[in-house]
């Protein structure tokens, strides 16, 4: 099968704390929230509190990344999508440690889809501003020490360091479609190890019971997210899968996920929000060959809701 490239760039941002402090157990919301504020503060010219009536929004990099509205259409998998998905995923360090000392380092993985990798300098500058502004309400400051680019084999190439303050290159491009189709046949078993909370919502209700995480719920969610990202960030190019991808002859042979409950405070909405999800392993067995490409793509794009915070990250193991 020949498909147009679907590019993604993946980076490791290494930050060093300038002072001691306590951080949340799950740090995705903290980094994502601070990043959004820093990005807006760095590029917004009008300083209006909301973007809706801003005359500059069509040419604003913040609005393009965070607020662009989805055009009206009748595409089934885009029903209910009011805004274009964020063109990035911010994967926080997965350690649940809370107390950190001055000089401790943290690694944040940033994946950027499609043409938005050209905006890497904005992301870097926003991280530098984040460090100057500080994290959490206690304003724990940090410095952006370095950035490495990752390739498909997870090899690292240094593209930025604090001393030179120069971006050497844009980094290695990963083709999601190539990754999806480059797998051996004969797979009979797939292990999905969810290392950040998988947040699933059906009919506006958050799924909490492990038994509610069925193969249909999970695989439909990954497929819909992939099709949505491919539509918006790959120039509407054909996707890798037929209209009806069958997983009828698959079974979940093992389900050891548990619901992890956590909440985040939204400074924008001025309220606490429940953000819990599943952690643990799910094992699929049976005629699995035709969905392996989807599962491999899911490793790169995450699954479920609120993936921009790094939720729904899993590691895939195939037998």
Q: Which residue has the tokens 């601070």?
A: 34
First to last CA, the chain: 23
Structure tokens of 297? 């793509």
What pairing do the DSSP bridges indicate for beta strands 277-286 and 189-198? antiparallel
| Residue-by-residue pLDDT tens, the chain, 319 positions | 567 889 999 999 999 999 999 999 999 989 999 999 999 999 999 998 888 889 999 899 999 999 988 887 777 778 777 888 999 999 999 988 999 999 999 999 999 999 999 999 999 999 999 999 999 989 999 999 999 999 999 999 999 999 999 999 999 999 999 988 888 788 999 999 999 999 999 988 999 999 999 999 999 999 999 999 998 898 777 788 766 688 999 999 999 999 998 776 555 556 666 778 999 999 999 989 889 999 999 999 999 999 999 999 999 999 9
pLDDT of 136 reads: 92
Single out the residue of 279, 43, 250, 21 nearest to residue 142, CA to CA. 21
Single out the residue of 223, 220, 215 nearest to residue 248, CA to CA. 215
Per-residue pLDDT of 282-294, as tens digits, reads: 999 998 988 999 9
- Sign of the alpha-carbon dihedral angle for 272, 132, 129, 144: negative
Each domain of the chain, given as residue ranges in start order, spans 7-175, 177-318
For domain 177-318, give the CATH number.
3.30.70.1900
* Cβ atoms within 10 Å, residue 91: 23
Structure tokens of 177? 């479609």
Contacts of 222 (CB under 8 A, 6+ apart): 294, 295, 297, 298, 301, 303
Single out the residue of 76, 277, 319 nearest to residue 186, CA to CA. 319
User: Which stretches within 44-98 are classed as H helix?
Assistant: 61-66
The DSSP symbol for 26 reads S
Structure tokens of 285? 């067995």
Rg of the chain taking only CA atoms, in angstroms: 20
Task: Please give the Cα distance from 32 to 24 (Å, whole number).
Answer: 13
Strands (E), 78-221: 88-91, 99-100, 105-113, 142-150, 156-161, 166-167, 173-175, 189-198, 201-202, 205-206
């Amino acid at each position: 099968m020949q498909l147009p490239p679907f590019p993604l760039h993946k980076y490791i941002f290494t930050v060093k704390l300038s002072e001691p402090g306590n951080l949340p157990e799950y740090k995705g919301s903290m980094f994502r929230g601070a990043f959004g504020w820093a990005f807006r503060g760095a590029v917004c010219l009008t300083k209006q509190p909301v973007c809706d009536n801003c005359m500059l929004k069509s040419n604003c990099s913040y609005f393009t990344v965070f607020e662009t509205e989805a055009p009206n259409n009748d595409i089934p998998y885009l029903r209910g999508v009011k805004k274009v998905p964020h063109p990035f995923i911010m994967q926080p360090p997965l350690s649940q440690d809370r107390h950190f000392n001055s000089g401790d380092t943290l690694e944040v993985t940033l994946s950027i889809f499609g043409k938005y990798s050209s905006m890497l300098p904005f992301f870097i500058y926003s991280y530098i501003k984040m460090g100057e502004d500080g994290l959490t309400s206690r304003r724990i400051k940090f410095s952006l020490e370095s950035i490495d680019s990752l390739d498909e084999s997870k090899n690292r190439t240094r593209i930025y360091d604090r001393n030179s303050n120069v971006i050497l290159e844009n980094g290695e491009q990963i083709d999601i479609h190539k990754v999806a189709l480059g797998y051996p046949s004969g797979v009979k078993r797939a292990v999905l190890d969810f290392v950040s909370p998988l947040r699933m919502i059906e009919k506006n209700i958050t799924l909490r019971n492990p038994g509610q995480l069925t193969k249909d719920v999970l695989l439909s969610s990954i497929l819909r997210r992939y099709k949505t990202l491919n539509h918006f960030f790959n120039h509407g190019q054909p996707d890798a899968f037929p209209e009806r991808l069958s997983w009828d002859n698959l079974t979940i042979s093992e389900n050891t996920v548990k619901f992890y409950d956590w909440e985040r405070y939204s400074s924008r909405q001025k309220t606490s929000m429940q953000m819990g999800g599943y952690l643990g392993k799910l094992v699929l067995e049976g005629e699995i060959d035709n969905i392996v490409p989807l599962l491999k793509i899911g490793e790169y794009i995450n699954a479920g809701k609120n993936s921009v915070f790094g939720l729904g990250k899993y590691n895939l193991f195939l037998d």
